[in-house]
Amino acid sequence: MIVDCLVVSSLYDFSADLVVQELERRKAKYVRLNRENFESYRLTMDVQEESLEVRMNGANYRITTDLRAVYYRQPVFLRNTPGESLSIDEQLSRSQWMGFLRSLAIFDQARWMNPLNATYLAETKAYQLSVARRIGFKVPKTLIGNDYVRLREIDNRAIIKSLDTVLLRDNNETLFTYSTIECSSEFTDENISAAPLTVQEYVSPKIDLRVTVIGGEVTAVKITSAGRGIDGDWRVVDRDAIEYTEVDLPHGIERKCLKLLEVLGLNFGAIDLIESNGSYYFIEINPTGEWGWLVSDERRFDVDIANWLVGDK
């Protein structure tokens, strides 16, 4: 089968599942490649022909320069989990599949959600914050580094974040880090110097907003608990206690969200903003961010993405 749409995802990617269901419903000609299954596929990329042949599950798929769209749901690099013990063969395999993912860039005539080079840059927190500030967003004072003297310049309460996505393994458990609130006076050389941190001015009071941009369409959702803003990282709050309310952004803020994606070269973005005393602050953008948790009868992001992939928008 000649493929019109390529989906690159994880076996456990709920958001990709929703989009694939929509593609199935439309009888779209697509193939989904999950990173956990790469070794079970039989893949041949012909550089001269700019084509990719895939044999999987008893079926044959062919991707050519006529490919219409790519839905890229993975970080640019397959990250090793810190503490993960890999054999020499496993390390070699992991590194070469990284190279294979980057090689998909030969299909640059297709529409990408999102392009590899744009995803790589947009995942870099310092870069995205700088771009957001330059286009006119308010950005809380942010310092990145391991010098506790300088990091203490952010007065009183500060938000502490990892500089890159952190997945830690403790025996059989995989641990993920969340943002934490700390008093900057507690920073010392001993607890800061081992690795760079992102330290950001804490803005309070606040209401969190998730802004999802899909092919130029903007949807903003206010995140509250008992009708009020949530202190700290809302992701650690019991989901049953959280309300998601769709809201209209001020026109100027919406235009900045669209401009941000334009400058970053993205067709999809999950943007985190906060509103405080009538002012809006940019916190971050995730070019492969999750959105399945926001889908409802009124918010069909899966339909919007499928529309974009098959060219209905």
Alpha carbons 65 and 187: distance in angstroms, whole number: 53
pLDDT score of 174 = 39
User: For residue 178, what pLDDT is reported?
Assistant: 54
**What pLDDT, on a 0 to 100 scale, did the predictor assign at position 76?**
56
pLDDT at 288: 92
Contacts of residue 264, defined as CB under 8 A and 6 or more positions apart, other chains included, come to 118, 121, 122, 128, 131, 285, 287
**3-state percent helix, strand, coil for the chain, nearest multiple of 5:** 30, 30, 35
What contacts 220, CB < 8 A, 6 or more positions away?
209, 210, 211, 212, 246, 247, 248, 249, 254, 273
Q: Identify the segments of the chain with pLDDT beneath 70.
A: 75-85, 164-178, 312-313
Q: Distances in Å between the alpha carbon of 15 and those of 158, 226, 276, 303?
A: 32, 27, 30, 11
Indicate the pTM of the whole model. 0.88
pLDDT of residue 169: 44
Structure tokens at 66: 């006529």
Q: What pLDDT score does 190 carry?
A: 86
Q: Can you give the pLDDT at residue 84?
A: 57
CA distance linking residue 249 with residue 252, whole number of Å: 8
- What residue has token string 């092919």? 215
